[in-house]
Amino acid sequence: MATSQVETVSTGADKAKLALAVALVIAGVAGFYLLGKQGQVAQWGALVVGLAAAFVVFMTSESGKQFLAFGRDSWKEVKKVVWPTRKEAIQMTLYVVGFSVVMALFLWLTDKTLEWVFYDLILGWKK
């Protein structure tokens, strides 16, 4: 039986950091809309500053550090992948296209055969 482990934020400081990050995102979005009369530079500046500050605060939390570690581990795994060569990719694409054409012809022939059997032979509805 597989058990799933749920990770939660455990310390009060971490909870405060996450709450501050959410508040900064909300403040950035609110600033974007509230500074509409000051021009686009002020709007986008408020949004970017709010999101950047929220990112920095989030990354200092335990959840942010775990997220960063996950990203590093994921990047290491992507580097281990053996990607197909151009020739292999083209061959596999041609196999898929060829199979699709063969399957389309098979389904079309099956459809026409069943149409002929039901409408012409059984029901006698000639077109």
Domain check: are 113 and 89 in the same one? yes
Domain check: are 20 and 72 in the same one? yes
Domain check: are 127 and 74 in the same one? no
Residue 72, pLDDT score: 96
Nearest CA-CA partner of 24 in 2, 60, 1, 56: 56
- pTM listed for this prediction: 0.57
Residue 4, pLDDT score: 65
What are the average pLDDT values for consecutive 10-residue runs of the chain, which has 127 residues? 61 91 96 92 95 95 93 95 95 98 98 92 76
Q: What's the total number of domains in the chain?
A: 2
Residue 3, pLDDT score: 62
110 φψ region: left (φ > 0), alpha (ψ -120 to 50), beta (else): alpha
Domain check: are 108 and 63 in the same one? no
- Whether residue 64 lies inside any domain: the answer is yes
Please state, in angstroms and rounded to a whole number, the distance separating the CA atoms of residues 65 and 18: 12
Residue 7, pLDDT score: 59
Residue 71, pLDDT score: 95
Domain check: are 73 and 93 in the same one? no
- Structural domain of 75: 11-81
Please state, in angstroms and rounded to a whole number, the distance separating the CA atoms of residues 56 and 98: 51
Domain check: are 73 and 95 in the same one? no
